Structure 1
Amino acid sequence: MAKLEHGLALEMTRAGFKTAEMEKKSLASGIWPNPQMWIPRHVNGTADWFVAVSYEPGVARVVDVMSSAPGGWRLVASAADTRATPARFPKIATDAEGYATSLPENATGLSATPRQIARAHLASLENAEVDAQFDEGPWTSEAALFWQQERAQLRQADWKLTLSYRLEGPVRALRTSDGGALVWYGARSTEVREAEREGATVRLKGSAAVRTRGKAFAHSVSATYGRMYVTYVPPAGSNEPARVLGEWSDVLESHGD
């Protein structure tokens, strides 16, 4: 995989293989159909990169970011929308020669800079609070509500939940035709559950449960995930909220006692 991916993406894929091995399953694989690509011009001092978008009805819309590296091109970010009807995807702006326009992470002229929007999104997840500057959806309001409910259930069993979402890697952005931007960013999140009294035990869910072999924990348990997002940021002056358009997540490690 090191010949295909780099950074957090590589770490997440390797973790996915580990989880599948423990489940005695194989990971889905195949070629995504009819990819469309947008290539920004070279910017001195930064690695070249491009975006590929592929949509297979009834399966997913996948948005990949490829970056140049000494050994060739590597996947460095990805996000998917697997809903039956994916959210509307904005048009990426191109110049007269067909190049996309990359934006720095502190670009102005948007409702928030790319880095600000990434940090605000992660803060809303870490705090389990709905942020009105984002549209409702599975990776914003629904995720915040999930954590609120999880915290309340744990509190009833005398357990506490601590969340941490940390931005990892560069924030990349492309201009959209309406003056907004598409922004890609990754994060490392950790959820820690700790018992406040003897008695109740907890089990993790999903892939984190696989990594702990479904064990029940009496004192504490934590799970760390790699997460990647693609988010549309409207232009400055717009009343439209930012829209998170896809996610990729994989449990990296999980343990407790």
Structure 2
Amino acid sequence: MAVFWLATRAPSGSSLAANPTPDPSDTGWGKASASPSPTPSPSRPTPETTPKPTGKGTDKSPRPEATPAKKPRIETRTTPPPADPPAAVSRSPQLTAKEAYGIHGRYQRGLSVAQARKDQAAMAKLEHGLALEMTRAAFKTAEMQKTSLATGIWPNPQVWIPRHVEGAADWFVAVSHEPGVARIVDVMSSAPGGWRLVASAADTRATPARFPKIATDGEGYATSLPESATGLIATPRQIARAHLASLENAEIDPRFDDGPWTSEATLFWQQERVRLEQADWRLTLSYRLEGPVRALRTSDGGALVWYGARSTELREAVREGAKVKLKGSAAVRTRNKAFARSVSATYGRMYVTHVPPAGSNEPARVLGEWSDVLESHGD
């Protein structure tokens, strides 16, 4: 979520600040005339037993309900590891577990080096699509704020590899869980130039939500499902669209369980809209599905679904008076200015959601998110 500061003007011309309101993005309200040092949204929480970030980083552990602006990256060293060349596409029609672990390990090491150097060009060999755009945007924000990015490797990942499908790109999932820090779910996909990260999501709560068991066959391979797969409470694509629609409309969808990326997010937007209206501003939200929807069969007959989106939050003044000031990464992009007429922020967002099988009484559960501000503007 974007965070912003709002000041309303009292009849006498003095500033009247609204009360602080917590939300899934660790937001607050205050006077637009105030000049707090903008702090980027919490991004890479660090366990107490690991070294602190080098350089000027100001990262901190988010509150349990916080939404990570970038998937957390655990720190295991103060200097980045040597980079490995990107892995080539497997010559075998069926990716092996050994190959998958090697591909993901090389990705993590390459990312750690790229983060330490804020190397925009290097990311093109590591990530693709919206994921690449989000990471490059995070690098730009850090450069503007003159902060360093934490580096390191997530320990002990587990991989699940779908069977090869003729004519389709191979892909696999890597899940890492550092107790008390975060659970990270990465999706790697083959491409003409090598393997790339195409999706990711994190749950940084002290106790992450229960993660479903991925179904495997006798040889340990998972089963990929198409966007239109039936046998679920809704197809993977329908679930993705329904989730984004609930956020865009700020309306709770009963098909989804309560949580920071469903009910809490919609409640935040409802409250945000009311406060803006009281200050003679209006809020317009847009959440658009971007990229493919990927899914794996789970042992309960349901599916794990990965999807990305591009969201835009537009705030416009109905009449002259109050000013709005963004906070967090969006504030860095607008150089911490307050705006009298309009201000917008666009984010890249990625989610992983468990969809129950058809006939189940259980709701769909959103199990993690990765978000980064792509751009913000105002006048």
C-alpha RMSD of matched pairs (Å)? 0.6
- The aligned counterpart of 1:181 is 303
**Which digits, 9 at most, give the CA deviation of each residue in 1:119-156, with x for residues without a partner?**
00000000001111100000000000111111111111
Give 1:223's match in structure 2, choosing from 331, 345, 353. 345
Q: Give the superposition deviation at 1:205.
A: 2.2
Moved over 2 A (4+): none
Distance 1:45 1:125 in 2: 34
- The aligned counterpart of 1:118 is 240
Give 1:4's match in structure 2, choosing from 126, 129, 136. 126
Task: Give the secondary structure class of the aligned counterpart of 2:274.
Answer: helix
Give 1:243's match in structure 2, choosing from 365, 368, 376. 365
Task: Give the secondary structure class of the aligned counterpart of 1:163.
Answer: strand
Establish whether residue 14 from structure 1 lines up as the match of residue 158 from structure 2: no
Distance 1:206 1:149 in 2: 19
Q: 1:106-255 counterparts in 2 under 5 A? A: 106-255=228-377
Distance 2:155 2:318 in 1: 51
Establish whether residue 105 from structure 1 lines up as the match of residue 241 from structure 2: no
Distance 2:146 2:274 in 1: 34
Q: Which moves more between the two structures, 19-28 or 82-91?
A: 19-28
**Which digits, 9 at most, give the CA deviation of each residue in 1:102-121, with x for residues without a partner?**
00000000011000000000
Letter paired with 2:231: G
Q: Give the superposition deviation at 1:206.
A: 1.7
Establish whether residue 54 from structure 1 lines up as the match of residue 197 from structure 2: no
Query: As a proportion of its length, which structure holds more strand?
Result: 1
Give 2:205's match in structure 1, choosing from 57, 78, 83. 83
How many residues of Structure 1 are paired with residues of Structure 2 in the alignment? 257
**Which digits, 9 at most, give the CA deviation of each residue in 1:227-252, with x for residues without a partner?**
00000000000000000000000000
Establish whether residue 72 from structure 1 lines up as the match of residue 194 from structure 2: yes
Task: Give the secondary structure class of the aligned counterpart of 1:17.
Answer: helix
Letter paired with 1:146: F
Distance 2:185 2:346 in 1: 23
TM-score (norm 2): 0.67
Letter paired with 2:319: R
Distance 1:22 1:72 in 2: 31
**Which digits, 9 at most, give the CA deviation of each residue in 1:161-196, with x for residues without a partner?**
000000000000000000000000000000100001
Task: Give the secondary structure class of the aligned counterpart of 1:202.
Answer: strand
Task: Give the secondary structure class of the aligned counterpart of 1:203.
Answer: strand
Counting aligned pairs with the same residue, the percent is 89
Letter paired with 1:205: K
Distance 2:194 2:181 in 1: 29
Letter paired with 1:254: S
Distance 1:213 1:241 in 2: 41
Task: Give the secondary structure class of the aligned counterpart of 2:195.
Answer: strand
**Pair member with larger Rg:** 2
- The aligned counterpart of 2:72 is none
Q: Gapped runs of 5+ residues in structure 2?
A: 1-122
